[in-house]
Structure 1
Amino acid sequence: MMTEAMARLMDQFRAGKPAALARAVSIVENHRPGFEQILAVVHPTLGRARRIGITGPPGAGKSTLTTRLARRYRNAGWRVGIVAVDPTSPFTGGALLGDRIRMEEVALDPGVFIRSMATRGSLGGLATATREVCDVLDGFGMDVILLETVGVGQSELDISRAADTTLVVLVPESGDSIQTLKAGVMEIADVFAVNKADRPGADRLRNDIELMLGLRAGASMQNVPAHHGVDLRNLPDRDALRDAMNPARAARAAASAEQPEQWTPPVLRVIAAQNEGVDEVVDALDRHVRYLESSGELRSRRRARLRERVMEVVEQQLRRRLWQDQDTLTWVDERLDALEAGTQVPFAVADALRARSAALLTGAEYAPLQDG
């Protein structure tokens, strides 16, 4: 049953009150009492907002580009939600939440809602409750949600599971051609933005990324005849041959063509601080959404997100019920002597713990919400 205070909050939320949105986001982010009810209320309305993830290494200019994108969408009349994630200090436990400071250009716009979040020890580039906060913004009626990660390395890939479209922002100093070939963050991009493109090395980085895309797509040599006696000068489609001999050129050509059943990530030159190249990024993001819708990939990605959400909720509930139960903790402590002496192994203790905790883990009285 929803409390009277929570019912009033949700009435104000449905009425579009920004203060109610801010309070709902705080309740959900911190998992305060009633956060499940808020998520249950907004769930039927999810799926209206575009979710665009913006990720890249520290100092790549993600916040500046996020601000520019927000301004473009506001000029189009869209309401924009921004979730900016900053790292939590492992020493003090605090976080600067400085991304919001860089967004002062749009911070006072009534059509923009900015929420800064700390990672609180989460290692995937996002905070633990980031996706839940995005659900609240979606349920509030935001047209687009810009989700900016912390400065990430090669293996922080949570953004690809939280967003419909992933924009990877790089700078000329991001590394050599070997870095572009490595697995990880380079594989999740739907759009690449080479920011600070006025610096030396920007064109080389762009070419290296396009070369990587061409090689991974198998564009190299696929249209070249296998027989050594063929005169390549007499082939009718010389453009196709030239692209086949140059995978980077082939990737750039494929990225510029709007294909309903195939997507090649474009690699765009951007100088976000000078507002250059931002329109091209917006156009690429729009084209990617059209591709997702026409190919059915958008529905697939969102269904996968729902499946992962169910799995996360189950894991959170089981962890909370098990490790917040004092009897369970006492039972584990009583077996530490046997584990230390080597007469029992952790796997056997875990099996016994799972067997004795069946009622605790499945008991309906522990469920925060009841169906119906």
Structure 2
Amino acid sequence: MEDFKQGLLEGKKRAAARLISMGENGQQEALDVIKELYHKTGNAYVIGVTGPPGAGKSTLTDKLVKVCRAAGHKVGVIAVDPTSPFTGGAILGDRIRMSDLNTDPGVFIRSMGARGNLGGISEATGVAVDVLDIYGCEYIFVETVGVGQSEVDIVKSCDTTLMVMVPGLGDDIQAIKAGVMEIGDVFVINKADRDGAEKTAREIRMMLEFNKNEWNPPVNMAIAVENQGIKELLDSIFEHREYMTGSGKGHVRRVENRKSELLTIVKERMTRKLFEKTYNGEVIDDLSQKVAKKETDPYSAAEMILEKINMN
């Protein structure tokens, strides 16, 4: 582990990749390295990229990363893909779309399977962000899986949330729905050469008028495949960063993010202990059978489990 630690501090991709894999698999050794080097985190600026499936998030991220690289910044990309039902790993669709970045020594790309998480990001995303932060990335892009209105967990892991929309999704009311629309710090209408792009932008601006805050999220237009509007979009992201830093809200958000991360870790470990104390789920399986047969009810069964682990 000393080699991994030294490799991470020296900016070696292999060390970062191995530690992320170990952290994703819940290996304590990776967490021990992060514990020891945690004081070196906090330098990277984390940008979440979210939006509905087919919005062009991967292509847009690819173009944003290239602009950052042209400015000499070291960049990390965490692309959360749908999970393979056979291997449990990422299907790698996002990584394929960014294949030409793989040979850039200043870019680290990692695909991660969502593994059933409805919030759009993997549980191990926090580990990956910490590793890439220590590794020396100045900017870390976290692209969500694209699951729809429940995809709000990204706001708990990033400093700026970029909401990617496209015209022609069918239902105009989509633009004013709660949920993912409320977490965007910067909006972009990708594929803006399509019919209805201006109408979609207008609807989003109207929605934002109802939620007036000190920061008024800009609504950008872009055609990612043609590299149009990318620099302007990155300028909007940087403006949001300046606002958050200048107002002190950036620190408040990071505190809230760490609180959410802390609670997630506690919840995961409590769940793990629950399974350990119920014989790796055997008790739960037995009670599930009884509930299915109507021999007991789920509330009584839950109370039995809690009594067994002294949590009632």
TM-score, normalised with respect to structure 1: 0.77
Pick from 324, 329, 344 the counterpart of residue 276 of structure 2: 324
DSSP 3-state at the match of 1:193: strand
Say yes or no: does 1:310 pair with 2:290: no
Contact 1:42 1:136 in 2 (8 A): no
Say yes or no: does 1:58 pair with 2:66: no
Shift of 1:168: 0.8
Match of 1:299 in 2: 251
Q: Give, in whole Å, the separation in 2 of the partners of 1:47 and 1:275.
A: 30
Match of 1:250 in 2: none
Shift of 1:173: 1.6
CA RMSD, 1 decimal? 2.4
Match of 1:141 in 2: 136
Q: Give, in whole Å, the separation in 1 of the partners of 2:292 and 2:97.
A: 52
Q: 1:206 to 1:331 in 2, by over 3 A?
A: closer
Shift of 1:151: 2.0
Contact 1:166 1:190 in 2 (8 A): yes
In the TM superposition, 1:30-179 aligns within 5 A as 30-90=25-85, 93=88, 95-179=90-174
Q: 1:352 to 1:285 in 2, by over 3 A?
A: same
Q: Which amino acid aligns with 1:279?
A: K
Q: Give, in whole Å, the separation in 1 of the partners of 2:172 and 2:218.
A: 17
Of the structure 1 ranges 109-118 and 343-352, higher mean CA displacement relative to structure 2 is found in 343-352
Shift of 1:104: 2.3
Q: Give, in whole Å, the separation in 1 of the partners of 2:286 and 2:207.
A: 56
Identity of aligned residues (%): 44
DSSP 3-state at the match of 1:145: strand
Contact 2:112 2:122 in 1 (8 A): yes
Contact 2:41 2:134 in 1 (8 A): yes
Shift of 1:96: 2.1
Q: 1:343 to 1:282 in 2, by over 3 A?
A: closer
Q: 1:328 to 1:27 in 2, by over 3 A?
A: closer
DSSP 3-state at the match of 1:57: coil
Deviation by residue 1:197-231 (Cα, 9 ceiling, x = unmatched): 111111111111111111332xxxxxxxxxxxxxx
Deviation by residue 1:126-162 (Cα, 9 ceiling, x = unmatched): 1121121111111211100001111231221111111
Q: Give, in whole Å, the separation in 2 of the partners of 1:183 and 1:200.
A: 25
Contact 1:90 1:121 in 2 (8 A): no
Q: Give, in whole Å, the separation in 1 of the partners of 2:62 and 2:136.
A: 20
Q: 1:199 to 1:160 in 2, by over 3 A?
A: same
Match of 1:266 in 2: 218
Shift of 1:292: 0.7
Q: Give, in whole Å, the separation in 2 of the partners of 1:56 and 1:312.
A: 23
Deviation by residue 1:97-121 (Cα, 9 ceiling, x = unmatched): 1111111232211000000111111
Q: Give, in whole Å, the separation in 1 of the partners of 2:273 and 2:160.
A: 35
DSSP 3-state at the match of 2:116: coil
Pick from 229, 233, 245 the counterpart of residue 277 of structure 1: 229
Kindly name which structure, 1 or 2, has the bigger radius of gyration based on alpha carbons: 1
Q: Give, in whole Å, the separation in 2 of the partners of 1:125 and 1:341.
A: 34
Q: Which amino acid aligns with 1:71?
A: K
Contact 2:188 2:222 in 1 (8 A): yes
- Determine which structure has greater relative contact order: mean sequence separation of CA pairs < 8 Å that are 6+ residues apart, divided by chain length: 2
* Structure 1 alignment gaps of length 5 or more: 1-5, 218-260, 362-372
* Structure 2 alignment gaps of length 5 or more: none
Q: Give, in whole Å, the separation in 2 of the partners of 1:115 and 1:30.
A: 15
Contact 2:278 2:284 in 1 (8 A): no
TM-score, normalised with respect to structure 2: 0.91
Q: Give, in whole Å, the separation in 2 of the partners of 1:333 and 1:188.
A: 38
In the TM superposition, 1:17-28 aligns within 5 A as 17-28=12-23
Of the structure 1 ranges 200-209 and 346-355, higher mean CA displacement relative to structure 2 is found in 346-355
Match of 2:207 in 1: 212
Q: 1:351 to 1:176 in 2, by over 3 A?
A: closer
